[in-house]
C-alpha cells in the first residue's frame, strides 16, 4: 500500500521542477493528483510525465476566483481534497533585486505570487478541510532563514510563508480543525528557478553559477527536485501526523553555515 493511498492532492506550480517531481512521487505512493500552473502549455505537457488519471488545471494563484474554480473542479472530479501543496513561486521579475534596485511593482509581483498566493491557498483549503481534515505543505526556502540582500523581495516573501504557515497551523489547532500545516525550506535546487538564480551568480551563465555555488564551503551543494519532493511526501503522509507548524530544512545544511 502506498504512503498516500487514495488521497487527493492538489499541487500548484506543478508544470515542472519541484512541483512535477512531487506529483510523480505522490502518484507512485497511491495519490490522485491535480496539478495546476499559470503556464497552461507546460502544465498540459507535464501530464505526459505522469500516469493516467492526473488532471491539469490552468491556475493563477494570485486570483481568488481561480482558487475557487480549481477547488470546485477538483472536488467535482475526485470528491475531495486531502493535501494542498502550495508550491508555485516567483524568484524575481528583474535582473537585480537589491534594496535600491527593487521598485514597488517588482516587490508586489513577487509577494503577490509567493505570499498572497499561499495565503489564498491556505484559506481556501482550510474552508474545505475543516471538518474532514487535511494537510497543507507550503514551499518556502532557505532564503526565509537568512538575509538575502540580492533577493530582497524573494527572501521577505519566503519568510512570510514560514510565518504564515505557523499561524495557519495554530489557527487550525485552536479551532479544533484536523489540519496540519508545515513549510519546506530548500536551498538551490536544479530546476528552471535554480538556473535563474545561478545565472545571477554566474554572471549570466547558469552552468558557471552552479559551478561557483558547488565550490562554496557550507552551501550544502545543489539539491535535486526529488530531494524536496521526498520531504513534501513525508509531511503530507500520516507519518508526520505529530508534526505541525514546522520548518523542514531541505538545504544540505546551508542555513547553519558559519560565515
Ligand atoms: N529551485 C530552487 O532553487 C528553489 C529553492 C528554494 C525554494 N524554491 C521554491 O520551490 C517552489 C518551486 O520552484 P521550482 O524550483 O520548481 O521552480 P519552477 O520555476 O520550475 O516552478 C515554479 C512554477 O510556478 C509557476 N508559477 C509562477 N507564478 C505562478 C502563478 N501566479 N500561478 C500559478 N503558477 C505560477 C511557474 O509557471 C512554474 O511552473 C517555489 O515556490 C520556489 O520559490 C525553489
pLDDT of residue 93: 82
The response to whether residue 188 sits with its C-beta less than 6 Å from ligand 1 reads yes
Instruction: Transcribe the chain into DSSP letters.
Output: --TTTT-EEEETTTTSHHHHHHHHHHHHTT-EEEEEES-HHHHHHHGGGS-TT-EEEE--TT-HHHHHHHHHHHHHHHS---EEEE------SSS-BSTTT--HHHHHHHHIIIIIHHHHHHHHHHHHHTTT-EEEEEE--GGGSS--TTBHHHHHHHHHHHHHHHHHHHHHHHHT--EEEEEEEE-SBSSHHHHHHHHHHTTT-HHHHHHHHHHSTTS--PBPHHHHHHHHHHHHSGGGTT--S-EEEESTTGGG---
> What distance in angstroms lies between residue 57's CA and the mean position of ligand 1's atoms?
16
DSSP 57-79: EE--TT-HHHHHHHHHHHHHHHS
In a domain, 140, yes or no: yes
State yes or no: pLDDT of 188 exceeds 80.
Answer: yes
Same domain, 139 and 218: no
Cα of 37 from ligand 1 centre, angstroms? 10
Catalytic residue among 154, 174, 177, 219: 154
- CB 141 near ligand 1, within 6 Å: yes
Please report whether residue 82 resides in a domain. Answer: yes
Report helix, strand or coil for 230: helix
Residue 2 lies in a domain: no
Mean pLDDT of 175-202: 96
Residue 259 has pLDDT above 80, yes or no: no
Active site annotation includes 154: yes
Domain total for the chain?
2
Cβ of residue 38 lying under 6 Å from some atom of ligand 1: yes
- Specify whether 207 is located in the same domain as 157: no
Q: Are residues 212 and 247 in the same domain?
A: no
- Judge whether 3 lies within some domain: no
Q: Does residue 257 fall inside a structural domain?
A: no
Confidence of residue 1 (pLDDT cuts 50, 70, 90): confident
Q: What is the CATH number for 158?
A: 3.40.50.720
Task: For residues 134 and 207, state if they share a domain.
Answer: no
Q: Is the CB of 223 under 6 A from ligand 1?
A: no
Q: Quick: pLDDT tens for 217-248.
A: 999 999 999 999 999 999 999 999 999 999 99
**217 occurs within a structural domain:** yes
Claim to verify: residue 112 and residue 150 sit in the same structural domain:
yes
> Ligand 1 mean position to 189 CA, how many Å?
11
Domain presence at residue 1: no
Same domain, 68 and 193: no
- Tell me, using a 6 A CB cutoff, whether residue 62 lines ligand 1: yes
Q: Which domain holds residue 242?
A: 8-187+224-252
Amino acid at each position: 500500500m502506498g504512503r498516500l493511498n487514495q488521497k487527493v492532492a492538489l499541487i500548484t506550480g506543478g508544470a515542472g521542477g519541484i512541483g512535477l517531481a512531487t506529483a510523480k512521487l505522490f502518484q507512485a505512493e497511491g495519490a490522485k493528483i491535480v496539478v495546476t500552473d499559470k503556464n497552461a502549455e507546460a502544465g498540459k505537457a507535464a501530464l505526459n510525465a505522469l500516469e493516467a488519471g492526473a488532471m491539469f488545471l490552468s491556475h493563477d494563484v494570485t486570483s481568488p476566483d481561480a482558487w475557487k474554480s480549481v477547488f470546485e473542479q477538483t472536488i467535482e472530479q475526485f470528491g475531495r481534497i486531502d493535501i494542498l501543496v502550495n508550491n508555485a513561486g516567483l524568484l524575481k521579475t528583474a535582473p537585480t533585486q537589491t534594496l535600491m534596485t527593487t521598485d514597488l511593482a517588482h516587490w508586489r509581483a513577487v509577494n503577490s505570487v509567493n505570499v498572497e498566493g499561499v495565503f489564498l491557498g491556505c484559506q481556501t483549503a482550510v474552508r474545505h478541510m475543516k471538518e474532514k481534515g487535511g494537510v497543507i505543505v507550503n514551499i518556502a526556502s532557505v532564503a526565509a532563514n537568512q538575509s538575502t540582500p540580492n533577493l530582497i523581495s524573494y527572501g521577505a516573501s519566503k519568510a512570510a510563508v514560514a510565518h504564515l504557515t505557523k499561524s495557519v497551523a495554530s489557527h487550525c489547532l485552536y479551532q479544533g480543525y484536523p489540519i496540519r500545516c508545515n513549510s519546506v525550506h530548500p536551498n538551490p535546487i536544479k530546476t528552471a528557478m535554480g538556473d535563474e538564480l545561478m545565472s545571477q551568480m554566474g554572471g549570466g551563465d547558469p552552468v558557471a553559477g552552479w559551478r561557483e555555488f558547488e565550490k562554496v564551503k557550507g552551501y550544502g551543494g545543489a539539491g535535486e527536485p526529488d530531494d524536496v519532493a521526498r520531504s513534501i511526501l513525508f509531511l503530507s503522509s500520516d507519518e508526520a501526523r505529530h508534526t505541525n507548524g514546522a520548518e523542514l530544512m531541505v538545504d544540505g545544511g546551508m542555513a547553519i553555515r558559519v560565515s
